[in-house]
Amino acid sequence: MTFKKTNKMTITIFGATGRMQHLLVQQALDTGHKVIGYARTPSKMTIQHPNLTLIKGTMLDKTAIEAAIEGSDVVIETVGCVSEGTKLIIQAMKKFKVKRLVVVSTSNAKDSKDLPDKKFALLLGMTRGVLKLLGLFNRQYRNAVSELRKIAEIVRNSDLDWTLVRVAGLNNKARSNHVKSGYLGQGRLSFTTSRADMADFLLQQVTDSTYIKQAPAISS
Ligand SMILES: NC(=O)c1ccc[n+]([C@@H]2O[C@H](COP(=O)([O-])OP(=O)(O)OC[C@H]3O[C@@H](n4cnc5c(N)ncnc54)[C@H](OP(=O)(O)O)[C@@H]3O)[C@@H](O)[C@H]2O)c1
């Protein structure tokens, strides 16, 4: 393991003001870590804590991104839809010698360890059908999927200690304390993940090297 592993770390979280991200920030603070929350709209953050610093910026703001990463031990990227921003984050991590990068991705993004999964393929097909019926299977959706694929490629090609965390079907159920992780087709994963479990898993990656340079899918 090449990244720093201590009980108290400084964690930079990109996209810190989202729903799952609020849970992640709170869990990180409760664990004793310092958090640098990066957001384009910091006023949406409802948590106040002496160990929480907020930095305002877009995913294309190189100066603000560097300010958020300098002095940090770990970066968790939860925006997941701006590939140019992922490039800037990786550049800044290399500049400031930060090695550990955890990036949110989607179970739709395939991994070579996945096995054929009929149930998941059916669910994906049904989701596409519903999106088409609602008129949401549009250019914006396809752009988002394309950005997610680009991000996965950029992260995989970095020489950082990266983990891509693939999720689907987020909901607001309570933390289970038993988040499942693995690869499609193993019969272990369900199709939904609570935001609390997702936050739990992302935070575990800060000190756990199991999935370095891997892209596990997770579920509750
Ligand atoms: N819902 C699912 O089933 C699913 C599946 C796969 C992955 N995910 C990912 O899981 C994560 C957590 O989901 P969630 O529903 O809890 O999050 P959420 O409440 O939708 O929050 C998303 C956060 O990302 C920020 N953001 C979005 N687009 C951005 C952009 N272009 N530039 C900068 N910031 C941007 C938002 O900032 P503002 O508040 O300023 O808008 C917000 O803080 C998200 O990254 C989501 O993409 C979700």
Tokens 């970095």 label which residue?
A: 158
Q: Which residues of the chain have pLDDT under 70?
A: 1-6
CA distance 73 to 156: 20
Name the residue of 17, 140, 190 whose CB sits within 8 Å of the most ligand 1 atoms, as the mutation to test its pocket: 17
**pLDDT tens digits, one per residue of 73-132:** 999 999 989 999 999 999 999 999 999 999 999 988 889 999 998 888 888 888 888 888
Ligand 1 atom closest to residue 17's alpha carbon, by position in its atom list: 43
Q: Which domains does the chain have, with CATH numbers?
A: 10-114+147-219 (3.40.50.720)
CA distance 8 to 147: 33
